[in-house]
Amino acid sequence: MVGIRRLFAGSLGTLLVGMLAGFVIASAAGIFIQDSGLFGASGESPVTRSYMLSLLKLDPSSMVGIRPNQSVVQRAAELQGADTSRNTSSIQPLSLTYMGGATVGSYSVHIYAVDLRSAEGVDQFFPLALTVFGGKVVRRE
């Protein structure tokens, strides 16, 4: 009985270690494939895409999980700013293009080009470079 239990525990351990190794290998391979553009991969991060969409929709509340923690006062000020922008200066995004990016260690950089039309009808075409660390956008330029 003890022998069977030991055999089962050992087998489960081997299986779990294998699963962990498989998960890590798949993650590393995914990053390599994204960065190198193999198999048609654009390399775009889901985190930065969500960040850009929230930004263009003037919706800071949906960025909460993908950027560093802020104090309640900072969050309130940001929501206030977004409300004012929505009411006074509506923007119309014309295009959102992922230009590319790269990863070094735990840091990755993703660059976008944004084309938008302001309420006054002026077109603006500008880039944004987002730095991601630990699954969050830690820098925006």
Partner 1 sequence: MNETKALASLALFAVGILGGVVVHTLLDKGPAENPYPALPKIEEPRAAHDVVAAIGADDAQSLSRLIDSSMLTELDAALQPIIDVRTTKFVGAVESEGRLLSAYVVTGKTTDGIDFVVGFVLRVANDVVVGVN
Task: Give the residues lining the site for partner 1 (CB under 8 A).
Answer: 10-11, 14-27, 30, 44-46, 48-50, 53, 56, 93-105, 107-111, 113, 115, 123, 125-127, 129-131, 141
> Tokens representing 68?
């560093």
Is beta strand 92-104 parallel, antiparallel or unpaired with respect to 107-117? antiparallel
How does DSSP classify residue 62? Answer: G
> Tokens representing 52?
């850009």
CB of 32 to partner 1, least distance (A): 14
Comparing CB distances to partner 1, the nearer of 72 and 104 is 104
Please report, for residues 58, 59, 86, 93, 130, the alpha-carbon distance to residue 82 in angstroms, rounded to integers and kept in the order given: 6, 7, 6, 16, 20
CB of 68 to partner 1, least distance (A): 17
Comparing CB distances to partner 1, the nearer of 120 and 141 is 141
CB of 107 to partner 1, least distance (A): 5
